[in-house]
Structure 1
């Protein structure tokens, strides 16, 4: 858990070990880091609503808090992967583009659209679905994002580079464990959706269950494409699949 919190959040827990075994355990517990980030983001949004602000401002806070608690590493990874894929360069050159400190036009456009989509869904759920719907969506999206990282770190996924955090965690989680974690998150989200939508529990449960499933499926699609283009995954790819899973899950909830 300390590895998960130390690598996926800014929480100063201290990580005493940086080896493959610690990485495996950390990636298995990644959804817990998502739960903590999601609860903090939901608390920020709800606090603003209680103070009488608009749903839009609460939505902005719910998007901003995860960025702050992760040093925007996932968003940075998303932008870098967008630049790498958008360059249409061979794998080695695309990886070099991704390592640069600047952000290109593909990265900027992807970030803007992603943040707008997340804010729009949170605003809709806070204003039309109520505070409980909005808060649950914040938490579920954050947990889904980190569950996508667990899946991307499974043992049949190779690293694109021999160094870096991506190389440390890639291929560490047994496939069965990754699938079990993903299934547990999906079922738990469905149960929470049924409880929040107590007057119509089955549609509510299915809405959140499908949100997680489709979010993870979209992230897996992106992971597969990155593995095909880059020869494996990197730390940037982990960030990109997290944001992809989160945003897709929210878009599904917008249709729910």
Structure 2
């Protein structure tokens, strides 16, 4: 749990171990860290609504809180991955582009579109009340980190010999990763059930859409880069969260 919160959030949790065993446990617990971030975001959105703010402002807060509580780690990974994929260069050159500190045009456009999509979806949800927005944020955040658990499964290689990607690549047995995905879907369904039976079904569909979108991106990154990196993990999380929020907003 320390590994999960210490590496995937900016919360004051100190990572005391940095080995494959700790990494395995951390990635198994990743959805828990995501749910905490989502609940924090939902709480702020609810406070703003109680103070008289509109759904759009609550949605902006809901998007901003996870970004702040991760120090923009996943958003940075999304932008770097977009630059690497958009470059069309061979794997080695694309990885070098991703390590550069600046953000290229592909990264900027991707960030803008993803943040707009998340905010627009959340605004639709908050228009139905604080509970709908808070549940959506918790479901999306948990599903996003569950995508990281699946990306850490055995058989998925690291693209580089160093970094977070190398530390967690292949550490989770496939059966364990699938079990975590199933448990995440069930817990999200239970959260959705607080709003009614349709919301429970929609929460499951949101988790499936999130994991499916992340899996497609993961396969593309493996094909282009030869494996995963810390940036790819960030891109997977943001892609999954966006897919989940869109599915939830469609209801």
Q: TM-score range by the shorter chain?
A: over 0.9
User: 1:161: which partner in 2?
Assistant: 160
Shift of 1:194: 2.1
Number of residue pairs the alignment of both structures matches: 251
Structure 1 unaligned regions, length at least 5: none
1:214 and 2:209 are equivalent in the alignment: yes
User: 1:177: which partner in 2?
Assistant: 176
Q: Where does 1:226-241 land on structure 2 (aligned, <5 Å)?
A: 226-241=221-236
Q: Distance in 2 between matches of 1:86 and 1:171?
A: 26
In structure 1, which of residues 225, 228, 246 is the aligned counterpart of residue 241 of structure 2? 246
In structure 2, which of residues 189, 197, 200 is the aligned counterpart of residue 205 of structure 1? 200
User: 1:43: which partner in 2?
Assistant: 43
Q: Distance in 1 between matches of 2:194 and 2:57?
A: 26
Q: Distance in 2 between matches of 1:193 and 1:28?
A: 22
Residue deviations 1:62-112, cap 9 Å, x none? 000000000100000000000000000000000000000000000000000
Say what the alpha-carbon RMSD is for the aligned residues.
0.7
Shift of 1:196: 1.4
Q: Where does 1:1-256 land on structure 2 (aligned, <5 Å)?
A: 1-127=1-127, 129-197=128-196, 201=197, 203-256=198-251
Q: Distance in 2 between matches of 1:215 and 1:187?
A: 14
Residue deviations 1:127-178, cap 9 Å, x none? 1x22111110011111111111101011110000001111001110111011
Q: Distance in 2 between matches of 1:14 and 1:187?
A: 30
Q: TM-score, normalised by structure 1?
A: 0.97
